[in-house]
Amino acid sequence: MPTLSPDAADTIRLVRELELLDETAIRLLEQLFTNRLDEELVNSLIHGKETAVAVALFKVCAGTHSVHIIGFALRFFADLVCVDSALGTQLGREDLYARFGANPAQQFLTTAQQYHDKLGITNPALYLAATALRHGDAAKNKDSFDLFFCFAKTAFAPDTLYVKDVEFTVQACVQLARSKALRHLFFDYDMMQYIPRLLTDIVSNDSASIIQLIYETLLLTWLLSFEYEGIVQLVRHRIIPQLHRVLQRVQKEKCVRVALMALWNMVEAERKYVQHQLNPNFTEWVDPGITVLAKLQERHDGAGGAHGAPIHGRRGPSLVAEMVSVGMIKTLNQLQRRKFGDEDILVLVEDLNRALEQNMEVLTSFSEYRGEVLSSYLEWTPVHTSAKFWKENAQKFEENNYEVLSVLGKLILETKSDVTLAVACHDLGEVVRYHPTGRNLLTLACLAGVKERVMTLIVPPARGDLEGGAALHAEDHGAGGGSLFSREAVAEVEVHLRPMSGHRDHASARGC
């Protein structure tokens, strides 16, 4: 027959000594403590008595200063709330504050603050505080939210993140994010910057605990991706490459499923945004807040366009383009060959793959490329690294009196954006590589001074990593990482800019 554990026995004894509860409540606690491993029996004991159980456990947590009893009671309370959500709802009921004797959210946060160096107390206290805040009146809990997010930022700030230090805080954040009305707080308190790190910078000797934390972080990401502002901030903080990394490296089905669901929310958001922009009278209802996705096309470097005009950026958020550029299609194809116990995963994989492949044709079309170049703002979108695109479209650069080539040249000469400059140099090298006239294109009047400009970008190698060649300024250029100018691009441009004979071919004779 189950018996009370030493911690449970100490708790019951102290409750009686301090007269925190009446005998009926004490007997209920004894039954719960004794049968804590029997989930079905625990549920039956709690059912219909959620208020009494919540009040009893809260009084135990708030009414003693014994560290090991507070820790035991908080952990037990948090475990019960995980099992029975109705129990957690009681913590947010303002009409019960008199019976609790305090505001539960404030009390739990005060406890966490008082015992900040004891994770066995702080972690469950934060989780219970988040539960109380989720079900309470947000307008009356401003100070509690301030304190909660202060705790969360402190937990997520260290360079090295240990599972034991952040696991309950992440779970607490998930509790808050389950409420649509509270998701804006993650944006208001600037919490989005920490989420991608929780997928990559976690340390633990227990791989199972890392997987569980990744799952909780993915759950938080998915919940916040239902908000358009959430998508904007997640993407700005490089969440797409991290979700791709999860799909590549994590085998656990629940992690794969939630990562795919978060990506699907982004794909759907972009689809609705584009449809809304093209046809404002579209019959499908769209949240007016979707216009916030336009932030993803805004420029932040203050650079002007090649013609001195303001840069307006791309025509919409390029979420699908970024997914393609990080290699998502290849990864999805690999996932399609896996056998999953959850059939919904394969459905998600197929839907996502279909959406990406349908967009791939558009993303790598010459008209799309022309629009990007004429916007005077270039990014490492899929079209730039598609050999198929360059082979099929090299001669189209002659159209409209070398219009696109002319703008590329102006960008190389005038842009203040390092990324745009890098992409423009790369693209010029690809045009020269695949165009029938090759290097002779560089003698066109519209490219006057371009060769000299590119040569000034080639500097001696800083670490001797390019033998007798050139190294260009290193900087992360987006999803692919690495140097600002890829070594291949450097080599290509350098080859095509070597001195040529003085003759002019038919292309240069026509000018631009």
- Give 364's pLDDT tier (boundaries 50, 70, 90): low
Q: What is the pLDDT of residue 230?
A: 97
With 50 as the cut, is the pLDDT of residue 511 above it? no
Give, in order, the Cα–Cα distances in Å from 497 to each of 202, 243, 420, 449. 46, 39, 19, 11
With 50 as the cut, is the pLDDT of residue 303 above it? no
Tokens of 137: 């009146």
Q: What is the pLDDT of residue 366?
A: 83
Q: How far apart are CA 161 and CA 124, in angstroms?
A: 18
Q: How far apart are CA 38 and CA 343, in angstroms?
A: 31
**Which CATH number applies to 6-267: 1.20.140.10, 2.102.10.10, 1.25.10.10, 3.50.50.60?**
1.25.10.10
Least confident piece of the model among 134-148, 261-275, 283-297: 283-297
Q: How far apart are CA 22 and CA 311, in angstroms?
A: 71
Contact (CB, 8 A) for 5 and 13: no
Q: What is the pLDDT of residue 251?
A: 94
Reading phi first (left if > 0) and then psi (alpha if -120 to 50, else beta), residue 48 is in left
With 90 as the cut, is the pLDDT of residue 509 above it? no
- Give 315's pLDDT tier (boundaries 50, 70, 90): low
Q: How far apart are CA 73 and CA 69, in angstroms?
A: 6
Place of tokens 């954040």: 173
φ, ψ of residue 278 in degrees (nearest 5): -75, -35
φ, ψ of residue 459 in degrees (nearest 5): -120, 160
Least confident piece of the model among 251-260, 413-422, 467-476: 467-476
Q: What is the mean predicted confidence (pLDDT) over 301-311?
A: 36
Residues 6+ apart with CB under 8 A from 191: 149, 152, 153, 173, 185
Which amino acid would we find at residue 306?
A
With 80 as the cut, is the pLDDT of residue 220 above it? yes
Q: What is the mean predicted confidence (pLDDT) over 26-49?
A: 87
Partners of 75 in the β-ladder = none
Task: Choose between 458 and 508: higher pLDDT.
Answer: 458
Percentage above 90 pLDDT, the chain:
56
Query: No. of H helices and E strands in the chain?
Result: 27, 2
Q: What is the mean predicted confidence (pLDDT) over 386-413?
A: 90
Contact (CB, 8 A) for 217 and 169: no
Tokens of 278: 């093209």
Q: How far apart are CA 240 and CA 37, in angstroms?
A: 40
Residues 6+ apart with CB under 8 A from 302: 416
Partners of 471 in the β-ladder = 459
Q: How far apart are CA 27 and CA 13, in angstroms?
A: 12
Q: How far apart are CA 163 and CA 186, in angstroms?
A: 21
Contact (CB, 8 A) for 95 and 86: no
- Enter the CATH code of domain 376-459+484-493: 1.25.40
- Give 189's pLDDT tier (boundaries 50, 70, 90): very high
Contact (CB, 8 A) for 339 and 493: no
Contact (CB, 8 A) for 450 and 415: no
Domain coordinates in residue numbering, the chain: 6-267, 376-459+484-493
Give the 3-state secondary structure of residue 119: helix
With 70 as the cut, is the pLDDT of residue 429 above it? yes
Q: How far apart are CA 24 and CA 27, in angstroms?
A: 5
